[in-house]
């Protein structure tokens, strides 16, 4: 209800003054810039800047070794851990953004990392030995972030059995009751034009052949260069359901969680208790894990 009212209020204002559209757009741009700056400050205050610069250097070295045009589109995968205590120490505003707007937080990380990687590639180009430094596309940058050590507190819990439907970053605490087989997510694929155009293209959201930007013919994939990641769905039965087994006439439904491989290091054991930090996502309708730990 709150959201609907807000949207209607904005629409009414735009009817009166169409220039508000422009204002809202420019305010959003300013806030995105501010959010990216917060991420950058945090990265520079912690070891994350080393991870980002290291990945940029590895990318340039790899490209210079092979000099193949398709390697200019090679993936740059960043594993970035944001520790709760570091966020409290260095960046309370960023912590608030991560907790209230995890998707905006993820966007800010991606764009900030893209800027830092590009800047570092340019810096490498200015130092001897002279290396070839390709221009990178944001589609080849994959920022896999986690938030570690978020303290367990009731106002952050997501638990429909307790009528806790928190939006934003939330915690699911419970027993592993089932898990699916491993499924595969394509992070990116690289394509070439077989008609002699010497064009390459990168795809992230689909595995369908793109059209060549020069001759419009369907392109062919470098199948060996496809970059994938595994994930699985798990079912978590909220801990409170198990602790109060005498409730009658009520079935407790497990919470469906999508678990990407990089978000956990521990073994998955049926019946064991886990704490998951993540957020509810509407497509697919499930809780998206950012971190899973035994608890
Ligand atoms: Zn072509």
Q: What is the pLDDT along the chain (295 residues), one digit of tens a residue?
A: 223 333 333 344 444 455 666 676 677 777 899 999 999 999 999 999 999 999 999 999 999 898 899 999 999 999 999 999 999 998 999 999 999 999 999 999 999 999 999 999 999 877 777 778 889 999 999 999 999 999 999 899 999 888 889 999 999 999 999 999 999 999 999 999 999 898 999 999 888 999 999 999 999 999 999 999 999 999 999 877 776 667 777 778 899 999 999 999 999 999 999 999 999 998 788 999 999 999 9
Which pTM does this prediction carry?
Answer: 0.86
Ligand 1 centroid from CA 6, angstroms: 48
Ligand 1 centroid from CA 210, angstroms: 11
Ligand 1 centroid from CA 223, angstroms: 18
Tell me what pLDDT residue 20 has: 63
Other beta carbons within 10 Å of 284:
9
Tell me what pLDDT residue 249 has: 77
Tell me what pLDDT residue 163 has: 87
Ligand 1 centroid from CA 131, angstroms: 28
DSSP 8-state code for residue 97: H
Q: Nearest CA to 287 among 167, 127, 141?
A: 167
Ligand 1 centroid from CA 192, angstroms: 8
Ligand 1 centroid from CA 247, angstroms: 66
Pairing of strands 76-83, 200-203: unpaired
Tell me what pLDDT residue 137 has: 94
Ligand 1 centroid from CA 184, angstroms: 30
Ligand 1 centroid from CA 185, angstroms: 28
Quote the CA–CA distance of 92 and 62 in Å, as a whole number. 37
Ligand 1 centroid from CA 200, angstroms: 9
Tell me what pLDDT residue 18 has: 57
Ligand 1 centroid from CA 272, angstroms: 54
DSSP 8-state code for residue 69: G
Residue 62 contacts residue 121 (beta carbons within 8 Å): no
Tell me what pLDDT residue 244 has: 65
Ligand 1 centroid from CA 161, angstroms: 55
Quote the CA–CA distance of 120 and 72 in Å, as a whole number. 15
Ligand 1 centroid from CA 194, angstroms: 7
Ligand 1 centroid from CA 211, angstroms: 8
Ligand 1 centroid from CA 191, angstroms: 11
């Amino acid at each position: 209800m709150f959201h609907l009212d807000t949207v209607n209020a904005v629409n009414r204002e735009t009817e009166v003054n169409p220039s508000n559209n422009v204002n809202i757009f420019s305010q959003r741009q300013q806030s995105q810039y501010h959010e990216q700056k917060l991420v950058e400050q945090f990265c520079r205050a912690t070891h994350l800047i080393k991870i980002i610069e290291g990945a940029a250097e590895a990318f340039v070295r790899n490209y210079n070794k092979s000099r193949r045009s398709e390697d200019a589109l090679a993936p740059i995968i960043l594993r970035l851990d944001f520790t709760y205590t570091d966020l409290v120490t260095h960046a309370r505003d960023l912590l608030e953004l991560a907790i209230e707007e995890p998707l905006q937080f993820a966007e800010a990380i991606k764009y900030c990392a893209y800027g830092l990687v590009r800047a570092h590639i340019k810096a490498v180009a200015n130092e001897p030995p002279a290396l070839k430094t390709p221009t990178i596309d944001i589609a080849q940058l994959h920022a896999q972030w986690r938030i570690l050590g978020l303290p367990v507190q009731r106002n952050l819990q997501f638990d429909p059995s307790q009528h806790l439907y928190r939006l934003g970053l939330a915690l699911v605490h419970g027993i592993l009751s089932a898990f699916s087989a491993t499924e595969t997510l394509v992070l990116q694929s690289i394509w070439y034009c077989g008609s002699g155009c010497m064009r390459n293209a990168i795809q992230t959201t689909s595995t369908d052949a793109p059209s060549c930007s020069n001759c419009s013919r369907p392109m062919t994939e470098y199948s060996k260069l496809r970059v994938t990641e595994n994930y699985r769905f798990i079912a978590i039965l909220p801990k409170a359901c198990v602790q109060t087994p005498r409730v009658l006439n009520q079935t407790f439904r497990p919470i469906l969680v999508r678990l990407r491989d990089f978000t956990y290091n521990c073994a998955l054991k049926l019946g064991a208790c886990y704490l998951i930090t993540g957020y509810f996502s509407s497509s697919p309708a499930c809780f998206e894990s950012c971190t899973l730990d035994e608890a």
